[in-house]
Amino acid sequence: MTANKIHMKVSLDEKQVTIPLGQSFDEIGREQLIETWEEVELQDNINFIQDYETTRYTHYNPYDDYKIHYKFLFFSAGSYYDDFNILGYKDYELARTRQSFKNSFFKFDFYDSPVKSEQKLMFTSVMPANNCRKEQKLISFSEDPVEYWSQMANLPPIPTPMPMYGVYVPDAILSPEQGKNENYYIQWLKNRDLFTGTSFYMSCKFYNAKDGKVIRMVTQAPINPGTGAIVPGPYSYEDWFFYQVILKIDSGNAPPKYRYTVHPFSSLNIMSGVVSNQTGTMVGDEIMFYEYIAT
């Protein structure tokens, strides 16, 4: 048997002994509640974990091998042209991808709302000008005599020799294929907790490295359909500047799982709540951007 030897010493100061009676209060449960409360308070005060994981969204276009088609038109002398010559580029500069052209780019801004007073810029993407398509064009003798005569010397005399080279035109067809996919994918959050919206409103500007100017683009040709005359700006933001880009996570098994589509947009869509048909899916149904004409 074990026995504890307890010595009780007399203290002159202590005149009473407090004997606690056994209590059956639920102190343990209360302690757990306090610990839980502590954890909650702790998490609230330091941070809550936010998921910034992004993934790539692919253009959904099974009708044309998932390509996306863009077309840009620039204004000159009362008309719009899909030609970089209007911006001051010579054909030989476009054919040889001179630095001034190589450093030019289209910048796409994606906003959370089409209403200017409410919108926030969510993200931006950049498409280099040399992502555009090349088109065969006759060489101008006066502009590039060296290339002209060089080709003339090597071409057979019959039929009439026609020296040509590939010249960039403001028309881009992007696809998932390697080398053609710059600015094709959209990188955005996988988890929609941080931003629950699925629609973005895309506007475009062209940054011209030739002269350093920035050209704002609109989504419709500002031409009066009755008179054919140019309707100069300013234009309503909701009606003129944006395409609606819808991001979707598909639950099926067909790729792509993370996909986006582009739709024409105007204030009518806001009022009706209806989304326009998808655009940019084929030649003849391109995503069109026109140079903004300032008053």
CB 106 within 8 A of CB 94: no
Residue from 255, 272, 274, 283 in contact with other proteins (CB under 8 A): 255
185-204 footprint of other proteins as x/- string (CB under 8 A): -----x--------------
Q: Which stretch, 7-15, 28-36, 101-109, 234-242, contacts other proteins (CB under 8 A)?
A: 28-36
Question: Phi then psi for 165, rounded to 5 degrees?
Answer: -150, 165
206 binds other proteins (CB under 8 A): no
Q: Which range touches other proteins (CB under 8 A), out of 51-59, 123-131, 233-241, 278-286?
A: 51-59
Residue closer to other proteins by CB (options 114, 256) is 256
How many CB atoms sit inside 10 A of residue 232's CB?
11
Give yes or no for residue 51 binding other proteins (CB under 8 A). yes
Q: If binding is defined by CB under 8 A, does position 276 make contact with other proteins? A: no
Neighbours of 68 (CB within 10 A): 24
Nearer to other proteins, 159 or 252 (CB): 252
Rounded Cα gap, residues 268 and 272, in angstroms: 6
Give yes or no for residue 29 binding other proteins (CB under 8 A): no
When asked if residue 34 is in the footprint of other proteins (CB under 8 A), the reply is yes
Based on the shown chain and the rule CB under 8 A, indicate whether residue 46 belongs to the binding site for other proteins. yes
Shortest approach of other proteins to residue 175 CB, angstroms? 6
Distances (CA, A) of 119 to 1, 114, 130, 237: 83, 6, 31, 11
Told to check if 107 binds other proteins by CB under 8 A, we report: no
Nearest by Cα to 162 from 149, 154, 170, 152: 152
Options 13-21, 93-101, 203-211, 234-242: segment touching other proteins (CB under 8 A): 13-21
Site for other proteins, residues 57 to 96, rule: CB under 8 A? 58, 65-66
Scanning residues 147 to 176, which ones bind other proteins (CB under 8 A)?
A: 175-176
Looking up tokens 């502009």, which residue turns up? 143
Q: Which residues bind other proteins (CB under 8 A)?
A: 19-23, 25, 27-28, 31, 34, 38, 42, 46, 49-53, 55-56, 58, 65-66, 175-178, 190, 250, 252-258
